[in-house]
Amino acid sequence: MKLIALLFLCSRLLPTLPQKYNSQEIDCNDEDIFKVVDTALKTYNERNQSGNQFVLYRVTEVIKTENPDIFYAVKYEIKEGDCPVKSGKTWQDCDYKDAEEAATGECTATVKKSEKTKFSVATQTCQITPADGPVVTPGYECLGCEQPISTASPNVERVLRYAIEHFNNNTDSSHLFSLKEVKRAQSQVVSGWKYEVTYTIAQTNCSKEKFLFLTPDCMSLLNGDTGECTDNAYIDLQDRIASFSQQCDLYPGDDFVLPPPMVCIGCPREIPVDSPDLEEPLKHSITKLNAENNGNFYFKIDTVHRATSQIVAGRRFSIAFTAKETTCSKESNKELTASCETNKLGEVLQCIADVVVVPWMNTVDTTVNCGSRGKILRLARPPGFSPFRLVARKTTKEGTTKHLKLCEYKGRRLEAGAEPAPENESPNQRAVSPRLIQ
Ligand SMILES: *[C@@H]1O[C@H](CO)[C@@H](O)[C@H](O)[C@H]1NC(C)=O
Ligand SMILES: *[C@@H]1O[C@H](CO)[C@@H](O)[C@H](O)[C@H]1NC(C)=O
Ligand SMILES: *[C@@H]1O[C@H](CO)[C@@H](O)[C@H](O)[C@H]1NC(C)=O
């Protein structure tokens, strides 16, 4: 009974792949694709207690997701080989069994690539067709592996609904916030499920005074405050959200700089946050922040949210940015350098800098005001719940690539007419640079 329940639960976690991806053809020379399939197939063969090993026939689909962990979702077809499992051989040492007697199969696997070249199988299901008739063998699930899931999955939606409510209940903003965009979601099977979701939020025009909760009338404001949150939720076996933690970075909207009502010379103008003009003002801002902050570690600028410049007697910059604590202590470092890395558990400051640069007088006047707005939401971890990351990560847009086209395995049995392996290729090299052909 228990096993059945578990299998049922697991099947709900079968990787639902992100819907949006770029399509591109499989590059059959891509070593990673071979390693992914090799890892998956070895794992499959190792789990089979009896019978023959299966040998790769061809790879039919590859979807690569980077956000930021790299996952490959692959579909590949296999044929029964002529060497038994537990024979000390790998599938690459086996030949295909004669076609009439050989079982065939199709496998779907999700494989995580970590730390340069380590591949590990997160989920795998293989459907094996014996030489005489179709049979389905139970799949293999890696319990406890973190894996990306579709941001549209029902439990993710539920966690997000809860998260927005939690945010609105626990912040003192005058207006309700609504969900803007879901950036990514991951789940992990424990005794229950852990979800990690990252999303952005935006202030709406519904004041908390008038609205207890969000209604369809609440529209997000174009120039309102925004934020990015990473939450961890644990859904227990009774299907309840049993624990929840939230970490949000909030970015001030227009309350910090009012856009010029009309074009006017000398009025502050919005400038791009990556403008080269900001380089010097930002340098002055962070130097000033580090001089005035009496913490033991240097801060560095993490993200610039908005900036304006204004022609005065010289040029005046107003810059809103997030600064994060680094691992460089003031005691052992003379100054902040480019090699100082962010301390993931360190303090996060939301700052507004006012910098007046007067080039002809060679003067720079800098004022920086910071508050730890991002910190207010760093809630205590519920017992027994270890979040994967504490600090909201900022990554560029998720990159997902789907590969189409087949790659057939031609590793061992060189067909008549196929060129032999080059002489200088060692057997070991052959194992990693396989012969997958289109
Ligand atoms: C093990 O391999 C045999 C064929 O050699 C196959 O029929 C069987 O389904 C495999 N078992 C599992 C659990 O995959
Ligand atoms: C938010 O507050 C309302 C009203 O007090 C409560 O019913 C609801 O459960 C709260 N939601 C969360 C997620 O804390
Ligand atoms: C919010 O804005 C929308 C669209 O402009 C409007 O229909 C709605 O009535 C506004 N809600 C409130 C509470 O002002």
Question: CB–CB of 41/53 below 8 Å?
Answer: no
In order of their start, the domains of the chain are: 6-132+404-437 (3.10.450.10), 147-251 (3.10.450.10), 269-390 (3.10.450.10)
What six digits make up the tokens of 398?
């998720």
What per-residue confidence (pLDDT) applies to 21?
47
Q: What is the mean pLDDT of the chain?
A: 74
Atom 8 in ligand 3: residue holding the nearest Cα: 217
In this prediction, residue 262 carries a pLDDT of 43
Q: Ligand 3 pocket: which of 175, 219, 223 to mutate (most atoms <8 Å of CB)?
A: 219
Residue 238: phi, psi to the nearest 5? -85, 10
Give the mean model confidence (pLDDT) for residues 386-393. 24
In the predicted structure, residue 154 carries a pLDDT above the cut 60: yes
Please report the pLDDT score of residue 226 as a whole number.
Answer: 87
415 or 338, higher pLDDT: 338
Most informative mutation of 159, 160, 169, 241 for ligand 2 (most atoms within 8 A of CB): 169
Query: Cα dihedral angle (41, 46, 51, 52), rounded to 10 degrees?
Result: 40
**Ligand 3 centre from 210 Cα, in Å?**
12
pLDDT classification of 67: cutoffs 50, 70, 90: low
138 has pLDDT over 70: no
Atom from ligand 3 closest to the CA of residue 217: 8
User: What pLDDT sits at residue 314?
Assistant: 78
CA of 162 to the centre of ligand 2 (A): 9
Average pLDDT on 83-110 reads: 86
Non-local (6+) Cβ contacts of 231 within 8 A are 159, 163, 166, 195, 196, 197, 244, 245, 246, 247
Residue 328 main-chain phi, psi, to 5 deg: -90, 115
pLDDT value of position 169: 92
Ligand closest to Cα of 91 equals 1
Query: Which comes out higher in pLDDT, residue 333 or 373?
Result: 333
Asked if 175 contacts 206 with a C-beta cutoff of 8 angstroms, the reply is: yes
Q: Please give the share of the chain, as a percent, with pLDDT higher than 70.
A: 71
- The ligand that comes nearest to the alpha carbon of residue 166 is 2
When pLDDT is averaged across residues 138-148 and rounded to a whole number, the result is: 56
pLDDT of amino acid 223: 79
- CA of 147 from ligand 1 middle (Å) equals 26
Tens-place pLDDT, residues 162-220: 999 999 999 888 899 999 988 888 888 777 888 999 999 999 999 988 888 898 889 98
**Ligand 2 atom with least separation from CA of 163:** 13
Measured distance CA(166)–CA(168) in Å, rounded:
5
| Whole-angstrom distance, CA of residue 436 vs CA of residue 78 | 14
Confidence at residue 309, expressed as pLDDT on a 0 to 100 scale: 85
205 lines ligand 3 (CB under 6 A): yes
What pLDDT, on a 0 to 100 scale, did the predictor assign at position 286?
94
Structure tokens at 87: 């024979």
Query: Ligand 1 pocket: which of 83, 126, 135, 137 to mutate (most atoms <8 Å of CB)?
Result: 137
Q: What is the mean pLDDT of residues 353-370?
A: 85
Whether residue 409 has pLDDT greater than 90: no
| The model's pTM | 0.37
* 282 has pLDDT over 90: yes
Cα atoms found within 13 Å of the Cα of residue 418, Cβ hemisphere only: 13
pLDDT of residue 261 exceeding 50: no
Q: Which numbered atom of ligand 2 lies nearest the CA of 212?
A: 4
